Amino acid sequence: MNKIKGHQGDVIFTMINELPTEAVEVKNKPIALGEINGHAHVLTGNVKRYEHIKRLFYVVLGVNAILQHTRIENMNDDTFTSTKVLPVCDHKPHRLPAGIYEFWIQNSYNPYKKIMESVKD
């Protein structure tokens, strides 16, 4: 099976074989919020969100899960389960097939502070 990998701005994702046994299901919410413009990266459709420590996972149950980049005010309980494309901010939507995915925010090395930092979108 080919594993799907990709990104949307500073959000990176990859298909994995299984959830960690310690992962806990939580309510769906934005994956990442924009620091300036009120936008958000969200996964909508028939999905379940899981977290474990600082790791984020989604199980995509349907064929129409969509990684979207939209304004946070477009989001509510109904839009998180919707399979329609929401108004786009900067990044085009990605449709993800059924499977298990891990998501994280891109990091970069700050040589002045000598630390890794999350990339700001």
What is the pLDDT at residue 102?
Answer: 96
Strand 47-52 and strand 24-26: the pairing is antiparallel
Q: Cβ distance 59 to 96 under 8 Å? A: no
pLDDT in tens, 72-116: 888 888 999 988 888 777 788 999 999 999 999 876 565 677 655
- For the chain, the domains span 5-118
Full-model pTM? 0.84
What is the pLDDT at residue 111?
Answer: 64
What is the pLDDT at residue 120?
Answer: 57
79 phi and psi, to 5 degrees?
A: -70, -25
